[in-house]
Chains A and B, each alone.
Chain A
């Protein structure tokens, strides 16, 4: 599983940081991954971040 952030959609609203601070950080008004391959223990928080993203900019990819 790979986390994908669509930077064309992201506006830096920081909801992902609120949901999963271990995984996301925002600088220059754009969200970035802090870790590429998060442990499965964080999956629930990541799913919450995906749900909370107001611009629906985060998704999971199988690649």
Chain B
């Protein structure tokens, strides 16, 4: 956090390479919250936007989904050097994240009851079983890559299970999500550039789910794919693009974010050993611990909104057609909301973080993510005697979803007691 030379002219909170090299730009967000909470950004390789860094402003914008639309610009994406922007119609997706009222509500309500605390509680035995298997697989060793061998495995299994994807296809599903979110990172790139990587993964996933949907239309099963495959909006079945996009987004959103909260959560525990000891000696603290992990890691860095008419945010005039970029990790360190925001405190309560967003587009899977994090950290607290970094953390080149690609750890893991 030693960046004494900050000034508005040197602020850059959007270049993906910086996230890869340095992690989240918390010093810069802190500077913006203090000096310029509504900050106009013009940089190469992306269209201009207003950076919004205060929690109150993000809440205010999020609760006016008719004034502030998702459709025109989902998030601020930055092109890779030499990459050319494609027109949006070249790679169409139509899903909850880029739908606006009233359509968004119609589509969201098709599934919202399957993601309530009550509904996801029924999945706990399955999540526990998956977690135990994943941990058993690395027991007896002393080093592993926590991301590829542990944190990435649980969410993909859970969402695949919910969707009814057969087990032999889970690794493929996992690769597609890496490519769709991490296409800007050389490790996951296929083809010439991120856009090509995305296009290829999207096409393969659409093909895969076209077949699964056809199968579930003939023989409905007890899974989310069957619900969507046979659902109706305004009396008609879902159009193909909307149906396939819905499934794609469930897979991608259900994977990356929970994986990164898990990885970042363990990293926070390694960096704050007293907090991990506290969790081990007081398992009843797990619910506040999970909220703090989500606040601390804030896996989604930003989404954008576009103004439908001239408006004002914190005294700053914003014209119709201009977009704002909502930086959730910044809101989650907002001094006006949190005491000692830079302290990782697993007993923090209340914890009104915005890690799942808020309002119309509040994370549909938040309760599932909470359940997964609860089970994973409950098991880690029981079984993990110690853990330390065994090498450098490798971060994803993305300013959209904050990712840790690899985290080598040295550890001692005990047996499951169940």
Chain A interface (Cβ < 8 Å from any Cβ of B) = 11-14, 19, 26, 29, 48, 51-52, 54-56
Q: How far is the CA of A14 from the CA of B350 in the complex (A)?
A: 14
Cβ of B43 within 8 Å of any chain A Cβ, yes or no, is no
Inter-chain contact B350/A48, CB cutoff 8 Å: yes
6 A/B residue pairs, CB under 8 Å, sorted by A: A11-B112, A26-B117, A52-B350, A52-B352, A55-B359, A55-B362
8 Å CB contact of B118 from A29, A52, A54, A56: A29
Known: A19-B350, A48-B350, A48-B352. A54 touches B366 (CB 8 A): yes
Chain B interface (Cβ < 8 Å from any Cβ of A) = 59, 62-63, 112-113, 116-119, 350, 352, 356-360, 362-363, 366-367
**Cβ–Cβ < 8 Å partners of A29 in chain B:** 113, 116, 118-119
Inter-chain contact B362/A54, CB cutoff 8 Å: yes
Name the CB-closest residue of B to A14.
B117
Inter-chain contact B359/A11, CB cutoff 8 Å: no
Name the CB-closest residue of A to B362.
A54
Inter-chain contact A54/B117, CB cutoff 8 Å: no
Known: A11-B112, A13-B367, A56-B63. A51 touches B117 (CB 8 A): no
Q: How far is the CA of A14 from the CA of B121 in the complex (A)?
A: 13
Inter-chain contact A56/B117, CB cutoff 8 Å: no
8 Å CB contact of A54 from B113, B119, B358: B358
Inter-chain contact A13/B352, CB cutoff 8 Å: no
Inter-chain contact B116/A11, CB cutoff 8 Å: yes
Q: How far is the CA of A11 from the CA of B119 in the complex (A)?
A: 12
Inter-chain contact A54/B116, CB cutoff 8 Å: no
**Cβ–Cβ < 8 Å partners of A54 in chain B:** 356-359, 362-363, 366
Name the CB-closest residue of A to B108.
A11
Inter-chain contact A12/B350, CB cutoff 8 Å: no
Q: How far is the CA of A29 from the CA of B113 in the complex (A)?
A: 7
**Cβ–Cβ < 8 Å partners of A19 in chain B:** 350
Name the CB-closest residue of A to B358.
A54
**Cβ–Cβ < 8 Å partners of A51 in chain B:** 352
**Cβ–Cβ < 8 Å partners of B352 in chain A:** 48, 51-52
Q: How far is the CA of A12 from the CA of B367 in the complex (A)?
A: 10
Q: How far is the CA of A47 from the CA of B256 in the complex (A)?
A: 33
Inter-chain contact A12/B366, CB cutoff 8 Å: no
Taking the closest CB of chain A, its distance from the CB of B106, in whole angstroms, is 12
**18 extra interface residue pairs, beta carbon distance < 8 Å, beyond A54-B366, A56-B59:** A11-B112, A11-B113, A12-B113, A12-B116, A13-B366, A13-B367, A14-B116, A19-B350, A26-B117, A29-B116, A48-B352, A51-B352, A54-B357, A54-B358, A54-B362, A55-B362, A56-B63, A56-B359
Inter-chain contact A12/B118, CB cutoff 8 Å: yes
Q: How far is the CA of A40 from the CA of B359 in the complex (A)?
A: 27
Taking the closest CB of chain A, its distance from the CB of B348, in whole angstroms, is 13
Inter-chain contact A12/B117, CB cutoff 8 Å: yes
**Cβ–Cβ < 8 Å partners of B366 in chain A:** 13, 54
Taking the closest CB of chain B, its distance from the CB of A29, in whole angstroms, is 5
Known: A54-B358, A56-B358, A56-B359. A13 touches B350 (CB 8 A): no
Inter-chain contact B359/A13, CB cutoff 8 Å: no
Name the CB-closest residue of A to B349.
A18
Name the CB-closest residue of A to B64.
A56
**Cβ–Cβ < 8 Å partners of B119 in chain A:** 29
**Cβ–Cβ < 8 Å partners of B357 in chain A:** 54
Inter-chain contact B117/A13, CB cutoff 8 Å: yes
**Cβ–Cβ < 8 Å partners of A26 in chain B:** 117-118
Taking the closest CB of chain B, its distance from the CB of A43, in whole angstroms, is 15
Name the CB-closest residue of A to B354.
A54
Q: How far is the CA of A11 from the CA of B116 in the complex (A)?
A: 7
**Cβ–Cβ < 8 Å partners of B350 in chain A:** 19, 48, 52
Taking the closest CB of chain B, its distance from the CB of A59, in whole angstroms, is 11
Q: How far is the CA of A29 from the CA of B356 in the complex (A)?
A: 19
**Cβ–Cβ < 8 Å partners of B360 in chain A:** 55
Taking the closest CB of chain B, its distance from the CB of A46, in whole angstroms, is 12
Name the CB-closest residue of B to A12.
B116
Q: How far is the CA of A30 from the CA of B177 in the complex (A)?
A: 33
